[in-house]
């Protein structure tokens, strides 16, 4: 399976510039880049990318909404399975997970799923988009020990369910 649209490269700071600062090297996609990259997805009926995602994000569905320009809906779709799209889009080993299983990668280049996830996560933060319904607080407090991915995800889910002022 091949795709005539080449994978959209992500813009990065020039090496000489990034040697002078502590800013993020990768700029991420802008809207046009994200929509072009999203348009490469074949919207597979049996999406191998989803099977390879540890949390089972509905990848073709959120990518479809990126094509539509409905970034809030894309964000809501991701939020069904992940609270950390800006982080996961940056640090997940996509090359061995979703992108490593993308059907386009068999004969060409996989869809840049991680960069698209990052784009949606960042858009959501920048636009203060509420991706999930949050239940009213029920007065109970929960202490989550540790601030790794599990602890953050647990705190996020508990907060969504109104069960904590996490600290």
Interface with ligand SF4 includes 48 (CB under 6 A)? yes
The number of residues that bind ligand SF4 (CB under 6 A) is 14
Nearest CA among 117, 100, 118, 119 for reference residue 109: 100
DSSP result, 53-110: STT---HHHHHHHHHHT-HHHHHHHHHTT-S-HHHHHHHS-GGGTHHHH-GGGTTS--
Q: Which stretch binds ligand SF4 (CB under 6 A): 35-43, 118-126, 128-136, 146-154?
A: 35-43
Interface with ligand SF4 includes 77 (CB under 6 A)? no
Nearest CA among 10, 28, 7, 4 for reference residue 117: 28
Q: Which stretch binds ligand SF4 (CB under 6 A): 103-111, 121-129, 138-146, 147-155?
A: 103-111
Interface with ligand SF4 includes 38 (CB under 6 A)? no
Please identify which residue in the block is written with the tokens 């607080």.
137
* Among residues 10, 13, 18, 42, the one that binds ligand SF4 under rule CB under 6 A: 42
- Site for ligand SF4, rule CB under 6 A: 41-44, 47-49, 59-60, 102-104, 111, 113
């Amino acid at each position: 399976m091949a795709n005539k649209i080449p994978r959209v490269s992500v813009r990065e700071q020039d090496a000489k510039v990034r040697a002078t600062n502590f800013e993020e090297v990768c700029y991420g996609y802008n809207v046009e880049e994200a929509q072009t990259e999203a348009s490469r997805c074949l919207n597979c009926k049996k999406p191998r990318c989803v099977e390879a995602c540890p949390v089972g994000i509905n990848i073709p569905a959120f990518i479809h909404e990126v094509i539509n320009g409905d970034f809030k809906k894309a964000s809501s779709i991701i939020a069904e399975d992940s609270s950390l799209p800006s982080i996961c889009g940056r640090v997940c080993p996509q090359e061995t997970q979703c992108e490593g299983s993308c059907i386009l990668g068999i004969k060409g280049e996989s869809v840049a799923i991680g960069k698209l996830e990052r784009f949606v996560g960042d858009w959501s933060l920048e636009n203060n988009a509420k991706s999930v319904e949050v239940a009213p607080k029920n007065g109970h407090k929960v202490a989550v020990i540790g601030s790794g991915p599990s602890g953050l995800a647990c705190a996020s889910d508990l907060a969504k369910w109104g069960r904590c002022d996490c600290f």
